[in-house]
A and B are shown apart, each in its own frame.
Chain A
Amino acid sequence: MNDLWIIMKNELVVTTIIFLLLFIKIGKGLKNETLLPLIQFLLLANLLQGFFFNKEGLLFEGIFYSNTLIIVQKNILSLGVYLISLVCSDWLKKSPQLPEFFILMLSALLGMFFMISSGNLLMFYLSLELATIPVAAMANFDLHKKVSSEAAMKMILSSAFSSGILLFGISLLYGATGTLQFAEMSALLDGSPLQMLAFIFLFTAFAFKLSVVPFHLWTADVYEGSPVAVTAFLSVISKGAVAFILLTVLHKVFLPMMGIWYNLLMILSVITMITGNIFALRQQNIKRFLAFSSIAQVGFILVGMTNEGQLGISSVVYFILVYIFSNLAAFGVASAISSQTGKENIDDYKGMYRTNPFLSWILALALFSLAGIPPTAGFFGKLFLLTAGGAKGSFWYIGIAALNMIISLYYYLRVIRSVFMDKNDAPIEKISVGRSATLGLLLCGAGILAAGLFSWIFEYIRGILN
Chain B
Amino acid sequence: MMEPGLYQILFISAALFFTGVYGFLTRRNLITMLMSVELILNSVNLNFIAFNKYLWPQKMDGLFFTLFVIAIAAAEAAVAIAIIINLYRSHNSIDVENAEDLKY
A149 and B61 in contact, given A160-B76, A164-B37, A164-B41 (Cβ under 8 angstroms) = no
Are B69 and A167 within 8 A (Cβ)? yes
Encoded as 1 (CB less than 8 Å from any A CB) or 0, chain B from 89 to 104 comes to 0110000100101111
Encoded as 1 (CB less than 8 Å from any A CB) or 0, chain B from 6 to 23 comes to 000000000001001000
A151 contacts which chain B residues (CB < 8 A)? 102
For the complex formed, measure the closest distance between the CB of A112 and the CB atoms of chain B, giving whole angstroms.
16
Are B102 and A157 within 8 A (Cβ)? no
Residue in A closest to B85 when the chains form the complex, CB atoms? A149
Are A157 and B30 within 8 A (Cβ)? yes
**In the complex, chain A residues 426-463 whose Cβ is within 8 Å of any chain B Cβ:** none
**In the complex, chain B residues 62-93 whose Cβ is within 8 Å of any chain A Cβ:** 62, 64-65, 68-69, 72, 75-76, 79-80, 82-84, 86-87, 90-91
For the complex formed, measure the closest distance between the CB of B89 and the CB atoms of chain A, giving whole angstroms.
8
Are A168 and B17 within 8 A (Cβ)? yes
Residue in A closest to B71 when the chains form the complex, CB atoms? A126
A156 and B43 in contact, given A147-B102, A149-B87, A150-B87 (Cβ under 8 angstroms) = no
A-B pairs with beta carbons under 8 Å apart, 13 shown: A122-B68, A137-B79, A143-B86, A146-B91, A146-B101, A147-B102, A149-B83, A149-B90, A153-B87, A154-B102, A156-B79, A160-B37, A167-B69
B91 contacts which chain A residues (CB < 8 A)? 146, 149-150
- A interface residues, tally (CB under 8 Å): 42
A179 and B61 in contact, given A129-B76, A133-B76, A153-B83 (Cβ under 8 angstroms) = yes
B2 contacts which chain A residues (CB < 8 A)? none
Are B47 and A126 within 8 A (Cβ)? no
A160 contacts which chain B residues (CB < 8 A)? 34, 37, 76, 80
Residue in B closest to A279 when the chains form the complex, CB atoms? B104
- In this complex, the member of B48, B64, B83 whose beta carbon has the largest number of chain A beta carbons within 10 angstroms is B83
> Contacting A180 at CB < 8 Å: which of B61, B76, B101?
B61
Are B102 and A150 within 8 A (Cβ)? yes
**In the complex, chain A residues 217-257 whose Cβ is within 8 Å of any chain B Cβ:** 220-221, 224-225
Are A164 and B79 within 8 A (Cβ)? no
For the complex formed, measure the closest distance between the CB of A105 and the CB atoms of chain B, giving whole angstroms.
15
Are B65 and A174 within 8 A (Cβ)? yes
Residue in A closest to B42 when the chains form the complex, CB atoms? A164
Say whether chain B's binding surface is mostly helix, strand, loop, or mixed: helix
Question: Does A357 sit within 8 A of B, measured CB to CB?
Answer: no
Question: Does A361 sit within 8 A of B, measured CB to CB?
Answer: no
Question: Does A171 sit within 8 A of B, measured CB to CB?
Answer: yes
> Contacting A140 at CB < 8 Å: which of B61, B83, B101?
B83
Q: Compute how far the CA of A13 lies from the CA of B48 in the bound complex, rounded to whole angstroms.
A: 35
> Contacting B44 at CB < 8 Å: which of A136, A171, A279?
A171
Residue in A closest to B10 when the chains form the complex, CB atoms? A175
> Contacting A129 at CB < 8 Å: which of B30, B72, B102?
B72
B86 contacts which chain A residues (CB < 8 A)? 140, 143, 149, 152
A174 contacts which chain B residues (CB < 8 A)? 48, 51, 56, 61-62, 65
Are A178 and B83 within 8 A (Cβ)? no
A121 contacts which chain B residues (CB < 8 A)? 65
Are A161 and B24 within 8 A (Cβ)? yes
Q: Compute how far the CA of A171 lies from the CA of B102 in the bound complex, rounded to whole angstroms.
A: 35
B44 contacts which chain A residues (CB < 8 A)? 164, 167-168, 170-171
